[in-house]
Amino acid sequence: MIDFNSKKYKIFFILNLIYHYESISRTQLGDITEYRAATISDLVKELLDKDLIKEKGSSNAGRGRNQILLELNNDYLCAIGISIEPNEIMYIVSTIKGDILKTEKQNIPKNSTPSYVVELIISEITKLMDLYREKRILGIGIGDPGLVYKKGDYTVFSSQFKSWENIHLKSIVKDAIKLPVRIESNDNLKALGEKKYGLAKGISDFICLQLGEGIGISIVANNQLVKGAIGAAGELGHTIVTPNDKICICGSYGCIEASASLSAIIAELKRAVSLGSNTIIREFCKNPEDISLEDIKKALDLKDKLCLNVVLQAANLIGIALANAINILNPELVIFEGLMIELGDCFLNTIIQKVNENALAITNKHLSFKITELKDNAASLGAVTLIFEDFLKTDYFYKLCDKSSNETISCEDDIDF
Ligand SMILES: [Zn+2]
């Protein structure tokens, strides 16, 4: 039960208003909250003393005297965002307004065990925390390569990272670092990153289409991330457009991921080259086993027929599956993410064309397509968003910043929502 008259609630309310309005005066806070001027003054002083907010410039809001404005202390409040991919780990240190202070990339050696990867992560977090010890690191947000169980605790499954199953990453990192930790699948984090800092700012219904080794969508509907009953919503790659006997990594047959993902395209080209198909790829890639995305891009630039056919077939499948998703979800924006964007306009335009042909005309009329501008940082920015939202939505900031309290943050203090 919330006690609306408690100091804790009032300070939480004031902090959220400062965040919401970006900059606001004490008088305006009084007008909104109807707290007495002396109460506002005390609460603001406490937030200033804790370095959570700071004063900036002044504005004349039509009340005669210039008013000093208050804003969150962007120089002090930070979080660490991490995105674990099958081959590398991305780290950012970001301020509460999304200014990235540092980015780091760490390669994951082939055949690394999950426990080795977890050790790498903990040691890098420790280094970053030491480097930014003058800042207030509010927590660690982690993007997991697999599906994250809905309660946000452990990975259920990753089709792209074989040994990454039932990893209790959140509790392991929390025990080691003693700070709040939030975990979510990379794909979902990319959508959060786009919503907060990217192309989906102010958009209530959109889809991020992940085009890479795996294919999936992350869904925001009515401003909320859609995760499904166990966190497995958006597995577009495991839907079937044309039933066939191609076995998918999930064990089913005919999933579009088995025919249209980047690894499926490369596998198809390897097969065709080994069988002697006519293609320019042979000229710059002697061993079919070494065919890479770069080779495919070069071949597409040179209008290689085999490559074009394979890539456009994949685009057709993805476009039809996406049209089905659009008919169900009615988003106003699709954001393309992932390595396959590099296949270029012919690939992406074919996906769009298939959507136009197959989705309802009325939904197409209100739909646009864009390529992400956040690039490698989309998931890490989504990861810090989780921490900042916790900081603003819950009261644990009060304990965290209460220098007179010896209370430490325990697992139970994390709020799952
Ligand atoms: Zn599948």
Burial (CB < 10 A; 0-12, 13-18, 19+), residue 364, is middle
Mean pLDDT for the stretch of residues 257-262: 96
Residue 19: pLDDT band by 50, 70, 90 thresholds?
confident
CA of 214 to the centre of ligand 1 (A): 10
CA of 343 to the centre of ligand 1 (A): 23
Rounded distance between C-alpha atoms, residue 331 and residue 363, angstroms: 8
For residue 256, what are the CA distances in angstroms to 84, 317, 344, 387?
A: 24, 7, 20, 34
Cα dihedral 316→322→324→325 (10° resolution): 170
Residue 394: pLDDT band by 50, 70, 90 thresholds?
low
pLDDT at 408: 40
pLDDT at 90: 95
- Average of per-residue pLDDT values in the chain: 88
CA of 58 to the centre of ligand 1 (A): 57
CA of 162 to the centre of ligand 1 (A): 14
DSSP character at residue 160: S
- List the single range of 35-49, 255-269, 281-295, 340-354 with lowest mean pLDDT: 281-295
pLDDT at 403: 42
| Closest to 413 measured CA to CA, from 199, 216, 139 | 139
* 385 neighbors 196 (Cβ within 8 angstroms): yes
Question: Containing H/E element for 157?
Answer: strand 155-157
Residue 284: pLDDT band by 50, 70, 90 thresholds?
confident
Rg (CA), the chain: 24
CB atoms within 10 A of CB 171: 13
| Closest to 112 measured CA to CA, from 91, 140, 139, 85 | 85
What is the model's pTM? 0.84
CA of 216 to the centre of ligand 1 (A): 11
pLDDT at 283: 87
pLDDT at 299: 94
Rounded distance between C-alpha atoms, residue 325 and residue 239, angstroms: 10
* 164 neighbors 115 (Cβ within 8 angstroms): no
Helix (H, G, I), strand (E, B) or coil at 239: coil
DSSP character at residue 193: H
CA of 257 to the centre of ligand 1 (A): 6
CA of 381 to the centre of ligand 1 (A): 28
Q: Say if residue 410's pLDDT is above 60.
A: no
**Residue, of 169 and 393, whose pLDDT is higher:** 169
Question: Containing H/E element for 195?
Answer: helix 186-197
Q: What is the pLDDT of residues 189-219, one digit of tens each?
A: 999 999 999 999 999 999 999 999 889 999 9
pLDDT at 253: 96
Q: What is the pLDDT of residues 329-366, one digit of tens each?
A: 999 999 999 999 999 999 999 999 999 999 999 999 99
Q: Say if residue 399's pLDDT is above 60.
A: no
Mean pLDDT for the stretch of residues 364-377: 93
Residue 260: pLDDT band by 50, 70, 90 thresholds?
very high
DSSP character at residue 149: P
**Residue, of 116 and 209, whose pLDDT is higher:** 209
Q: Say if residue 411's pLDDT is above 80.
A: no
Rounded distance between C-alpha atoms, residue 341 and residue 140, angstroms: 29
CA of 329 to the centre of ligand 1 (A): 21
CA of 218 to the centre of ligand 1 (A): 17
CA of 161 to the centre of ligand 1 (A): 14
- What is the token pair recorded at 332? 């106003």
pLDDT at 62: 59
CA of 233 to the centre of ligand 1 (A): 14
CA of 316 to the centre of ligand 1 (A): 17
CA of 287 to the centre of ligand 1 (A): 29
Rounded distance between C-alpha atoms, residue 40 and residue 49, angstroms: 14
CA of 255 to the centre of ligand 1 (A): 5
* Residue type for position 259: S
Rounded distance between C-alpha atoms, residue 398 and residue 343, angstroms: 49
Taking phi over 0 as left and psi of -120 to 50 as alpha, with beta for the rest, 98 belongs to left
CA atoms within 13 A on the CB side of 62: 1
Rounded distance between C-alpha atoms, residue 351 and residue 371, angstroms: 13
Residue 389: pLDDT band by 50, 70, 90 thresholds?
confident
CA of 247 to the centre of ligand 1 (A): 8
Cα dihedral 338→342→348→351 (10° resolution): -50
Residue 111: pLDDT band by 50, 70, 90 thresholds?
confident
Rounded distance between C-alpha atoms, residue 234 and residue 227, angstroms: 8
CA of 355 to the centre of ligand 1 (A): 21
CA of 100 to the centre of ligand 1 (A): 36
Q: What is the pLDDT of residues 51-84, one digit of tens each?
A: 999 998 776 655 566 789 999 999 999 999 999 9
- List the single range of 68-82, 141-155, 362-376, 388-402 with lowest mean pLDDT: 388-402
